[in-house]
Amino acid sequence: MNGLSDVRLTLHGPQLLAEHEARQIVRAPTGLGRWGLYWHRARTRRALLKLDAQQLRDVGLSAEMARDEGCKPFWRP
């Protein structure tokens, strides 16, 4: 790495790690059928929209990320 890359990684490393962790895929419980999966998505997305700022920080999401995920229809992964 050149010096500029090292500086950039040092300055933005924690932010990059946080973004990577926020993008990790959360899988639904195994053994669900199609309608069970749809129900699970709908219920968890409604719950996500109800979280306050402190709760969103606890799970590592921004309000925008929560709103984007919470507003998706249940059939969309």
Q: What is the pLDDT of residue 29?
A: 79
Distances (CA, A) of 16 to 55, 60, 65, 68, 72: 21, 13, 16, 20, 25
| 3 or 60, higher pLDDT | 60
pTM: 0.61
CA pair distance 66, 62, nearest whole angstrom: 6
Distances (CA, A) of 52 to 14, 31, 47, 65, 70: 24, 31, 11, 13, 13
Query: Residue 68 — φ and ψ, nearest 5°?
Result: -60, -45
Per residue in 17-63, pLDDT (tens digit) is 666 665 656 677 788 898 999 999 999 999 999 999 999 999 889 99
